[in-house]
Amino acid sequence: MAIFGNSYGGKMIIKSEELREKNFKAFEKRYGVRPAIDPEEDKNYRMGMSKNGMPILYIRGAANGTDLRMNSEYDPMYEASRWAEKFEFKNRRTTLALLGFGAGYHLMAFMEKLRPDTMFFVFEPEESLFAFICAYGDYTELISNPRVKLYINNEQRGLYINEMIMDAVTYSSETEAISTPFYASNAEFDEHCEALSGIMSGQRNYQKDRGRISLKCRFYAWNHMRQAAILPDMRRALPKGIPAVIVSAGPSLNKNVDVLKKIKGHALIMSSDRALNVLDAHGIEPDVVLSAEPGKDPSFLDYDVAKNIQLLCSMQANSEAQKLYEGRCIYFHALHYEEALFGPKVEADLEGVDFGGNVSGACFVACEKMGINTIILIGQDMAYLDGKHHADDSDSGGDDARRLQTIELPGIDGGVVQSCGMWREFRNFFERRIMLNPELRVIDATEGGALIRGSEVMTLEEVAQNICTENYDLRGILDNLPRAQSEEEYQEMLKKLESWCDDLDLIAKNSKELTDICGQLVNVCKYQNIADHKYKKKLSKVDQLRYEIYQTTANALLEEFWVEDMYSIPDYIFVVRNNEEALPVFESAISYYKKLPEYCESLKEEILKSMLDGKS
């Protein structure tokens, strides 16, 4: 994994700028940045040598004035391996958050211990330390390893949680967070791990509680595309340079909501579904209202100011809300199933999309997808105001906040505000999006609430006077968007859905065969040796049957929406190198594949029902 530099005199390893440059070139090739060398590095760190000739990293003066030794003075790699053995992991793909690169020993120990599909996200809080150790060993293999992602500077660490979430959500991984020995706790790392834990818990609960509902809402959207439009066409129709105002339902909204009357016709006013009642009370018609959640009560969308506007909606927005806006839906949030049905015109998010867990986040992402580079936020408090959590008197959403401990966050006015962990994650989402998209100009005109780092702070009056100055005929633009699907395309879609039903029959058939073979392999693990070459044929048969299942879009629908326990789904790759490792793999596979035919039948019934409803 790493090759260390030459020793001289048997006591120390000499710094090599040639070696450091080799590591830096590998780092720059992969990450696009070069580590920065601290001119004072030798005052902060030093390298010694262990009894077996391996480098030992010391932090000068860190142990009550003496140098802190970070590795074993006898055998650093052996010590790291013994340390790694203390941790127990499920035999599943894992997304591992690791605080501290150190000299690389502990990372290498985990790479040796864990499955070959484990992903390591290494958060190194001291760029100068990483730059220092690069002069003492050849780390190019670790730097270039696709299983390892290194975050060593502020710019990279800003992407840490986003990239880790995408990995964990995409592969439904187990997630673990571990600190390398002798690293002090790090608030930023802890915050990222807390966010990851919350998102993965939400992901699991979402699949169990709302996965099937979400897919049924998508079925409704698929069968009503002939009466709807899609976001890419909206993007092409909008004038270049138009700003957007995202109206959220935070408790400060009533302070400045009437200023929107001055902005109407001078920017795209996009209301979240939760804020629409406030706009209705003030007689303000937004240009669009956005809804993304399958479980959101459609009554939030049934107001007089919305009778003639468009609903910008996720394909899995509540189907009753879609019905309420029939003929006025503009769909976004297409995934790979929609690309398979409708082609590239829907511009599907093939790797998934992060809305930050809230409808305002979905508004923000929709603006990004429409190429809007000036985004104004109002009502985006993410904090209490005089004990209120929303601008209206409804308690909807209050329970979510009250379940969480009240915390303090930096406020937009320089003080602190009372918030909670959920709202802090909403704030972190906006900060991530701003960091990921430096071309965006994000103006926070909330006039209260939590500070969003990276945004400009203005009053909404200042926005009206200085930003929203051009005139736009948005009603004429939005009312004349092209329909998303022709009658001929609709008939082609029905054929594809019928083929998916056939694929569900194949999956059910393969599942029954897999249950039998895996039962035989369980007995092999208990009484014989799974590594024996004579079982290769059975293992190959398992791979073949599973490959046929994975080739179908119908299986993606099952795994991502229909199977109630996402953690019951077997890993894509079976790691079965020995009996101990293989036994739980095959036992869990039996449990899953026994139930899968039932899931296939119920999903098939729902697809056929939605097709019939669409025809009527």
1 — pLDDT class (breaks 50, 70, 90): low
pLDDT, greater one: 502 or 574:
502
Burial, 487: exposed, middle or buried (Cβ in 10 Å; 0-12, 13-18, 19+)?
exposed
Average pLDDT, the chain: 91
DSSP secondary structure letters along 343-401? -GGG---TT----TTSHHHHHHHHHHHTT--EEEEES---S-BTTBSSSSS--TTHHHH
405-417 tens-digit pLDDT: 888 999 999 999 9
- Whether the per-residue pLDDT at 114 is higher than 80: the answer is yes
Residue 514 clears pLDDT 90, i.e. is over it: yes
Where does the pLDDT of residue 10 fall: very low under 50, low under 70, confident under 90, or very high at 90 and above?
very low
- Of 105-119, 173-187, 341-355, 489-503, the poorest mean pLDDT is in 341-355
pLDDT band at 204 (very low <50, low <70, confident <90, very high): low
So what's the pLDDT on residue 9?
37
How is residue 578 annotated by DSSP?
A: S
Residue recorded with tokens 């090759």: 3
Q: How much is the average pLDDT of 540-565?
A: 94
Band of pLDDT at residue 605, cut at 50, 70 and 90: very high
What is the pLDDT, as a whole number, of residue 203? Answer: 58
pLDDT of residue 250: 94
36-54 per-position pLDDT tens digit: 999 999 999 999 999 988 9
How far apart CA 67 and CA 45 sit, in angstroms, is 9
Cβ burial, residue 126 (10 Å; 0-12/13-18/19+): middle
Q: Which of 259-268, 276-285, 431-440, 519-528 has the lowest mean pLDDT?
A: 431-440
Contact 392, 277 (CB under 8 A): yes
Structure tokens at 404: 């969480």
Q: Which of 475, 467, 409 is nearest to 442 (CA)?
A: 467
Q: What is the pLDDT of residue 394?
A: 73
Is pTM beyond 0.85 here?
Answer: no
Question: Each residue of 319-372: pLDDT tens digit?
Answer: 999 999 999 999 999 988 999 999 999 999 877 777 888 899 999 999 999 999
What distance in Å separates the CA atoms of residue 432 and residue 199, rounded to the nearest whole number? 15
The average pLDDT across 192-210 equals 69
